[in-house]
Amino acid sequence: MQKEFIFYDQLNTGSNSSGFIYVLSNPAYPDWVKIGRTTRLPSYRAAELSKTTSAPTPFYVEWSRFLGNDLSEIETKIHEELDGHRVNKKREFFKMPVSEAIKQAGVIIDNYFSGIFINKWYRKKQDARWGLFFELLKIPFWYIKKPMNVIDGVGFMPDFWLRDQKCFVIVSKDFLNTDTGKLMGYCFAKEKDKVMFQLWDCQPGFNHDKDGDLNFHTGSYLTPEGEYGGLVEVGICNHCGSKHIGRHGFPELGDRAGRHTSKNSCKCHTADENEALLKAYRSIPVCFGDDN
């Protein structure tokens, strides 16, 4: 029996490092916007501000973006770069159109993390590693550049959409390993009805360490049904060539819904080494070096 273990109203990060950057508007101040951060749903923050006696009309969430880290630093960066529009140095109100505030905040966030790697723009170096990896394996992908709606006033931005595998990928070392990330990821997976994977190091999917223990690819998955697990890897079947992300050695996930990401529903065992897969893995250090 399926059980939903996460609920939208629990979305409270309880940390200054992760949460939302938001843009609020208020009809009473038609030429102003409020740009700030919150560790709760932006709609909760807007409701809280609307209850104050100094607000003649309610605040509305015009835009928000979830960040898994550096929330306070990015808010400060946005305020510094938009300082010329600030109404009061001690307040978070800026005199500018809503559309311009949204555009500027998004650009500042992107520039905070991004860079040009292999002649392409990526938010972070590990995204570029995976982009190159997918290209080498001829796995069609879309690099996501704008937040996607989860619920009203909440935007979330995974890193990749894999067309053939019909799944989203977020490149992060710990995002789904935290309560906040798991919650946000689940809300997104449920809304889009697609599996979301967390991937990090571009290393071979499996190997044995000095003690003989089997090491798995760095990866986790989260399904729309609320199933969460780790030990996933990118795999290619030597028999039919199907490409997937799944449990070690299998094209499907170990969840109760029986989801898989193989384009042709391959059921082959894929634990054997695959030449194309290993070649792609080994090409990453050559292009980027061994650092993460």
Give start and end residues of each alpha helix (H) in 137-214: 179-192
pLDDT at residue number 33: 96
Interval 77-89 mean pLDDT: 93
pLDDT above 90: residue 51? no
Report how far apart, in Å, the C-alpha atoms of 45 and of each of 102, 166, 213, 274 are: 17, 34, 48, 51
Pick from 46-60, 154-168, 222-236, 256-270: least confident: 256-270
E strand or H helix at 285: helix 275-288
pLDDT at residue number 5: 41
Higher pLDDT, 261 or 97: 97
pLDDT above 70: residue 64? yes
pLDDT range class, residue 4, cuts 50, 70, 90: very low
Q: For all residues of the chain together, what is the average pLDDT?
A: 81
User: Cα-Cα-Cα-Cα dihedral of 83, 87, 89, 92, to 10°?
Assistant: -80
pLDDT at residue number 210: 65
Q: How far apart are CA 100 and CA 111, in angstroms?
A: 16
pLDDT range class, residue 7, cuts 50, 70, 90: very low
pLDDT range class, residue 112, cuts 50, 70, 90: confident
pLDDT at residue number 74: 94
pLDDT above 70: residue 46? yes
| Beta-bridge partners for 22 | 36, 64
